[in-house]
Chains A and B, each alone.
Chain A
Amino acid sequence: MAIYDARRRWSKFYLGLCYLAVVIGLSWLAIILATLLFEGLRNISPAIFTQMTPPPGADGGLLNAITGSLIMTTLGVAIGTPLGMLAGTYMAEYGRYSKLTFFVRFINDILLSAPSIVIGLFVYEVMVVRMGHFSALAGAVSLAVIVVPVVVRTTEDMLLLVPDTLREAARALGLPRSIVIGKVAYRAARAGLVTGVILAIARISGETAPLLFTALNNQFFSTNLFAPMSSLPAVIFQFALSPYKEWQHLAWTGALLITLAVLALSITARVLQTQRRAK
């Protein structure tokens, strides 16, 4: 019997370690969110949304950073989404079994987790050096490069979920493939495609590294796409590492805003996904 007891004890021991890991892991992450909420809410005020980033030692808000983030994120999604959707469409519809699709899928999965700072370097080389100065447009393009693989992946996955019988029925009516894709496949996969775009927005709204040397930063309000533009992540980076208390507080508030936005986006994406499954 002793050997059975020993086995049972070992099993209990290792499973105990698993429980311990869950408790430590989850409470650690909970602590991060709690600190973020506490530090972020402590300094939140209407001024955050109405005033510009202040010089050291003064009070101010984050208006220029928030606007900059919104402009560049919108533009990045607007550039990246069509390209990603078209590529995903090719992979799921026209070239489902082609060698190219297999290759693109492999490369795309690698781009999906490629270090974003390298993408910043790429856009710096291609755009900033050519144009001779940092610009919001370059920042938006570097975000678009990050959007593309996310959208390619979800578009392909979602279109593959559409049953082929739907496509065959439409083809039997004599419709050309482009119309079958546009009127049948896209419509059947609509919720999934929207989810992909939302996930892409969530992914880029906190990206910092590629913006540092493409859009740079701007202390003032600017909507000029050909000039440096401020963004929330870049401001957080600059302010958190500064010795000034007011700047550090703004950095925490900015961090809270980004986290809330990202969480809201991911939850929306998730709800859309479950709705589709329930249908």
Chain B
Amino acid sequence: MADNLAVDKIGLERAESRLAKSLAGFKLGDTVFHLLTLAAAWAVLILLGGVIASLVLGSMPAIKAFGLNFLSTEAWNPVTEKFGAMAPVYGTIVTSLIAMAIAVPSAMAIAIFLTELCPFTLRKPIGIAIELLAGIPSIIYGIWGLFVLAPFLQEHVEPGLIATFANVPVLSKLFAGPPYGIGVLTAGIILAVMVLPIVTSISRDVFETVSPVLKEAAYAVGCTTWEVIRSVVIPYTRVGLIGGVMLGLGRALGETMAVTFVIGNAHKIAPSLLAPGTTISATIANEFTEAVGDLYTSALIALGLILFVITFIILAISRYMLMRLHQQEGR
């Protein structure tokens, strides 16, 4: 009897220690997994830090050699090793502005159509089509721009623009010179087509946050559809819309392939929109692998740094705006 009890006790202790061991194993596994995920979260931050650090380090020789003059110099001469960022920066900003001027009103109009006017059966297919188009890689837009859009503009649109505005004071300067087909205007138009689905799908999401009660109230006091859109929908979603536009702008500024094909890669600032130009990303894409000498490479990396800083600021503003919209929604 006493023997049996002792054996049971030993068995129990064994079982308990086994349980304790496996529980400890659980605990260890949990701690390890926790730390692993924490490390991965930090890695995302380190990734961004690494991008910034490597760009700054890589552009040091150029910054040392040119200082702030880098930003205000137009010349880009690999032979004499004189580099300035003004032409690419100018091209980046002008092409993006053209793109936004075309894409933002069209995107908002399409989003209004999708949320307010479109019959329900069509709403989903059109929405899906636009989202699918937002995912098409930019090189596709680039090759289409090069082979289809540029020749079309050269033959049918640009001569007309030149002739129409020849005697108008400011516009004659903007639309001057021979119609090359490739140039700043063509790049802006291609960017617009590319950004259009992105801005449209965000605007649509943003418009859908307007509660129907608000719209119905406006209709009830006798507003027309346009008045509801202008005085209720757009003011209510203003913050989110700006966020969406900024996101599109961020994409347009950093876009490489769609632009590289059609901008013409000329390092000069021409007053005419029809003249070839260059952007930061097009310059890097075209010249980086052929760059000889540390200073040349470093100047290109410095261009990348400028691009990254500009887009970072624009995207940060965009995210802040979109975040504010969600907070407003939660209230």
Contacts and interface: CB of A to CB of B under 8 A. Distances in A.
B84 interface: no
A107 B289 contact: no
A29 B41 contact: no
Interface in A76-117: 83-87, 89-91, 93-95, 100-101, 103-104, 106-111, 113-117
Given A110-B315, A115-B254, A177-B34, A87 B43 contact: yes
Contacts of A233: 137, 139, 257
A230 to B, nearest CB: 14
Contacts of A179: 26, 29-30
Contacts of B225: 11, 15
B72 interface: no
Contacts of A148: 44, 47
Interface in B105-143: 105-107, 109-110, 112-113, 117, 126, 128-129, 131-133, 135-143
A18 interface: yes
Contacts of A208: 137-139, 256-257
Contacts, number: 254
A198 B96 CA distance: 30
Interface residues of A, number: 93
A169 B43 CA distance: 32
A126 B54 contact: yes
A107 B48 contact: yes
Contacts of A32: 140-141, 144, 193
Contacts of A91: 41
Contact of B144 (A13, A22, A35, A103): A35
Contact of A17 (B39, B109, B193, B308): B109
Interface of B: 26-27, 29-30, 32-34, 36-45, 47-48, 50-51, 54-55, 57-58, 105-107, 109-110, 112-113, 117, 126, 128-129, 131-133, 135-144, 146-148, 193, 196-197, 200, 224-227, 229-230, 247, 250-251, 253-257, 260-261, 281, 284-285, 288-289, 300-301, 304, 307-308, 311-312, 315-316, 319
The 5 nearest A-B residue pairs measured at CB? A206-B137, A115-B254, A86-B40, A21-B109, A90-B37
8 contacts: A25-B106, A35-B148, A100-B41, A107-B44, A118-B51, A178-B29, A178-B32, A259-B136
